[in-house]
Structure 1
């Protein structure tokens, strides 16, 4: 039988409602008896004691808020009676020992990956067509229209919309409101085309609004990010479109590539429009260079690879009050399993680590990384406050509506994605993951900017937990959507790949669900499973301009 409530940490002074609780409902939990003094919605928290103004609210064993109005024992916590608060952080003696999870079932397992000459191993084999400046976006789309269909990479939707029936009703005099309730979705049979290049998983056409204007640091950072995408082992090579006069010059990108990887040897082509004749000649060159690159990319085939070669990005978005007690802890357990197997998980989204800095700092193996994490967080926080939007503004209306009423409360749950293993390195935006073990990467909390950054720093898979649902994906790295609750998994089944709602209902433990998730990740890494974001072509790509983005 499913419990009504959950106490996340033994030192907490609040509980989580797993179901809607009525006023005056009697709750018994591990010897405690509480009577609710207000209705408590599912996913929200309620008080385990009487709180006075200024008292600290503890959840996940850390400070997540302070009381602004008296709260009675059994009363729901809301934005009206609690405000954000987080503990100060200092670099102190670190405790990096940890208990590794049992990974005996996976110790000799492999996945089928793409081996690169520099020793990296990818889960995809993608060719990129990328503009160095936004002026070339239109030409990227022109090349996309030509190449995708001819080479068998275009994908039809698994549904169509019956617009003709709506037009007929309008022609017959129907008012706008009369057609709103019509179901016009028409299911289609799966559409598949034979690929010309069997070993190339796709051609990805990246669009962005950078490369010129703004400040030079933004175009330089864009080049560093694009160099990271090229270096990602999921990428076979690329065709770059240059206008010619933009800030993001070809030589700046080439220098960034050398800095990222001195052994870089993938095929890369640069096509400059201001050196071309007619636009048709320019597009023709883009197509010819890309075709030549695809011939080389097609020579690489999937081969067995150790799990230690995986780099798993850890992301969340559209979080709810269950994310921190089901999806994120399951992902965190997978992260720990991968660390035990020699792989490299990557925890990002620095605004969503506010409030848990001390525990993360204490887990850094090297003091220099502990200091760097504290410094990066402090700089980020100061810049946010300078424009009148501190970390406390991070929770979205959807987060708050579903029980995440302070940033520290959201952060404490979000950090669960990083498990409990030691942190081997702290990286700034665009820096590359090179060490096995858990890495911290400075990115915004913005879903797409963060997933874009994870792939740019080398992630070959990304897990993305959500409690509310989001269609976010990435052009080069498979994104696995993980639902925190079964209602979402059923309602948005065309977006969600993996459900952890069984942890909430008590049907699964975090460990058993994590083992199942790792099996699924290996299938995705081997090309045996296609995630929904891949199927639906959610190829989101937004470079961070290093301004304040929460």
Structure 2
């Protein structure tokens, strides 16, 4: 008989509904039987026993909420009868012991990557065109228009033919109702024969990072932006960069050069910096930028993929559009893949600090020393305090989509989100936008916002990002492939154009968490080698949002 509910941890006071449940249904767990007292949609939670007002609610073995009123056994947990609650945490002397998973079958495996002079290995080979200030965004867009299509890097999907069909309907005098009911032809895919061949076959693309920063705001904003951009310019997936500066902005060229030097004291990639107020006319600026970018692309094209051990991989762990299954399928599967990679000597980055709320004690206890645990405690405490001062505490983190699909408190969401980090020790805690330097599990302070966090993980060195989603999120990144992992089979079938891997097989009973994690690791190797082309890359989903150190959940 197919399992209908799941008790995640022996100490839990709730069950997760794996299918839609109706009043009067009987569910079975731990050799016990529970009568369902009201409709419980799949992904939502039902009480194992009566919960009185003020009673603690536990999931994953941790406190995730508190009952606001009586919730009868078999009743549904909602935002009306549950409030966010977490336990206090602090740094204690850790006795954490980790047994790495068996990795014999991958011990001698490699991926095909781009080797850089600083010893890091990229999974892609891009050229960057970067503005130091938003005033240069238009010039960046002019360069993008001049370069992309003719160099063979144009996006493969176009909806222009649908626009032409609609134009023809309007010109023919058709009604509004006709237009709304129009059965447009499917989107045409540009064939390889219709796209120009790449002039630089070893360069994966030219990427343009527009943003709204660089001036105004605080000096700290400018410093953080330069640190973030330096993370991209020195990134192993990047061969070199063209930087446009206006000249008078807060984010001065010197700040960027200092940040580059901090990350790579022996930086030797081609880097061209052009300042518009010094050069003069737009025509002169664009012409010079084009010449220098072509010269840089010629140098970048000389780099080719070569074998590298899996220990050279750096993986960013991310979730977005989470649902009530994320914490029991996609995230723990990703956690097992993370543990496998750490056991192989690789590096993983777990970010989104608002979504670690409630599991702080576990992460402190897993830290390799008191200093590491203390830094995590301090960053979490400061972030939470600033959020409260702005009137938007961590308890306000779950989105309407999260709540609709079963994640009704931030602690409940966090307890499942943290499973992406597996069980390995925390070797370092980084503040935005620091560079990761230690192999193993690293914690990076970022907001929970999908794009801000993904942007930051890549700046810290992630060469591939694994992104779990239960609702469907198209987030990508300009220079690192973002692998989309569905928590449920329904999503994977409904949005196959953005989903790369389905771990709903765990919910369906067709696969264990360990099997799914091993499958993920194989996918990582294929993506890192350039063999597997992920959906976000195919669609040109180049999301890039710097985090201004205000409150963003």
Structure 1 and Structure 2 fold alike (TM over 0.5):
yes
Quote the residue 1:275 is aligned against.
278
Asked if 2 retains the 8 angstrom alpha-carbon contact of 1:244 and 1:274, the reply is yes
Out of 183, 189, 211, the residue aligned to residue 208 of structure 1 is 211
Asked if 2 retains the 8 angstrom alpha-carbon contact of 1:96 and 1:421, the reply is no
| Residues 53-452 of structure 1 mapped to structure 2, 5 A cutoff | 53-157=53-157, 161-192=161-192, 193-452=196-455
Quote the residue 2:48 is aligned against.
48
SS of 1:359 mapped into structure 2: helix
RMSD: 1.2
Q: CA deviation at 1:207?
A: 0.4
Q: CA deviation at 1:160?
A: 5.2
SS of 1:130 mapped into structure 2: strand
Q: CA deviation at 1:189?
A: 3.7
Asked if 1 retains the 8 angstrom alpha-carbon contact of 2:156 and 2:539, the reply is no
Q: CA deviation at 1:173?
A: 4.8
CA distance in 1, matches of 2:524, 2:165: 42
Q: CA deviation at 1:187?
A: 3.3
CA distance in 2, matches of 1:278, 1:427: 42
CA distance in 1, matches of 2:402, 2:250: 38
- Which moved further from structure 2: 277-286 or 355-364? 277-286
Q: TM-score, normalised by structure 1?
A: 0.98
CA distance in 2, matches of 1:177, 1:218: 49
CA distance in 2, matches of 1:145, 1:32: 65
CA distance in 2, matches of 1:52, 1:178: 57
Asked if 1 retains the 8 angstrom alpha-carbon contact of 2:488 and 2:502, the reply is yes
Q: CA deviation at 1:166?
A: 2.7
Q: 1:298 to 1:548 in 2, by over 3 A?
A: same
CA distance in 1, matches of 2:119, 2:381: 36
Matched, 1:515 2:518: yes
Q: CA deviation at 1:277?
A: 3.2
CA distance in 2, matches of 1:222, 1:231: 14
Quote the residue 1:18 is aligned against.
18
Asked if 1 retains the 8 angstrom alpha-carbon contact of 2:156 and 2:538, the reply is no
Deviations 1:12-42 (A, max 9, x none): 0100000000001111223111001111010
Deviations 1:433-485 (A, max 9, x none): 11110000000000000000000000000000000001100001110000000
SS of 1:20 mapped into structure 2: coil
CA distance in 2, matches of 1:197, 1:12: 56
Q: CA deviation at 1:501?
A: 0.5
SS of 2:12 mapped into structure 1: coil
CA distance in 1, matches of 2:526, 2:190: 21
Asked if 2 retains the 8 angstrom alpha-carbon contact of 1:160 and 1:186, the reply is no
Deviations 1:291-350 (A, max 9, x none): 111111111110000000000000000000000000000000000000000000100000
Out of 497, 501, 514, the residue aligned to residue 498 of structure 1 is 501
Q: CA deviation at 1:171?
A: 4.4
Asked if 1 retains the 8 angstrom alpha-carbon contact of 2:125 and 2:300, the reply is yes
Matched, 1:462 2:447: no
CA distance in 1, matches of 2:471, 2:183: 24
Quote the residue 2:544 is aligned against.
541
CA distance in 2, matches of 1:191, 1:229: 31
Q: 1:324 to 1:54 in 2, by over 3 A?
A: same
CA distance in 1, matches of 2:173, 2:271: 57
Asked if 2 retains the 8 angstrom alpha-carbon contact of 1:110 and 1:305, the reply is yes
Q: CA deviation at 1:183?
A: 3.2
SS of 1:365 mapped into structure 2: coil
Out of 471, 474, 478, the residue aligned to residue 471 of structure 1 is 474
CA distance in 1, matches of 2:83, 2:177: 42
Asked if 2 retains the 8 angstrom alpha-carbon contact of 1:161 and 1:184, the reply is no
Q: CA deviation at 1:172?
A: 4.9
Asked if 2 retains the 8 angstrom alpha-carbon contact of 1:474 and 1:540, the reply is yes
CA distance in 1, matches of 2:352, 2:367: 17
Q: CA deviation at 1:354?
A: 0.2
CA distance in 1, matches of 2:93, 2:197: 58
CA distance in 1, matches of 2:275, 2:429: 37
CA distance in 2, matches of 1:469, 1:515: 23
CA distance in 2, matches of 1:505, 1:40: 18
Deviations 1:492-515 (A, max 9, x none): 101000110000011000111111
Q: CA deviation at 1:241?
A: 0.2
CA distance in 2, matches of 1:82, 1:93: 33
Asked if 1 retains the 8 angstrom alpha-carbon contact of 2:13 and 2:59, the reply is yes
Q: CA deviation at 1:278?
A: 2.3
Q: 1:4 to 1:159 in 2, by over 3 A?
A: farther
Q: CA deviation at 1:151?
A: 1.5
Deviations 1:104-162 (A, max 9, x none): 11110000000001101000111100000000000001111111122111123066552
Q: TM-score, normalised by structure 2?
A: 0.98
Q: CA deviation at 1:174?
A: 4.3
Asked if 1 retains the 8 angstrom alpha-carbon contact of 2:157 and 2:187, the reply is no
